[in-house]
Amino acid sequence: MPITLESLPVELVTAILEELDLASLVVVSYLSRRLHTIASDRSLNPWRAPILRNLHSGAYEDSLKHLSVRTTVPRQNWIEILSMAQPRFLLFEATLPNMKEADWRECFKRRFLPGWEKWKRDLSWHEAFLKCVDVDTFEC
């Protein structure tokens, strides 16, 4: 009996998917129902490794720009992206996700010093996050 990708254990498939670049992972996540399920699983999360490689390299793949529109990408990845990505990328290139206020608050707390919370005032956490990322207009 031949060994196929579909017959491999889930953990091994996840490890293989983690080695792909984001563009390839987007394509592979739609090749079969099983791959889609694995790519969408919050606990397996094969997206984390390629996302972190992008964020640490500073040279972001084009696929990272519009990753928020992919339903296969677990939302928890966006907390890391928003906490670590370059401000220019967040403000001018990325399609930002729709997230709950609690998630925006978590992003704010991870990215900025506790004293910066005073700048939130009457803004939503989403608005406060974007205001603080925009270093050109932010005055502290």
| pTM (two decimals) | 0.87
Domain-located, residue 113? no
Tens-digit pLDDT profile for residues 112-123 = 999 888 888 899
The predicted pLDDT at position 135 comes to 57
Domain-located, residue 128? no
5 band by pLDDT with thresholds 50, 70 and 90: confident
Burial (Cβ within 10 Å: 0-12, 13-18, ≥19) of residue 84:
middle
Domain-located, residue 53? yes
Domain count, the chain: 1
Domain boundaries, position 33: 5-73
Domain-located, residue 81? no
Domain-located, residue 32? yes
Domain-located, residue 56? yes
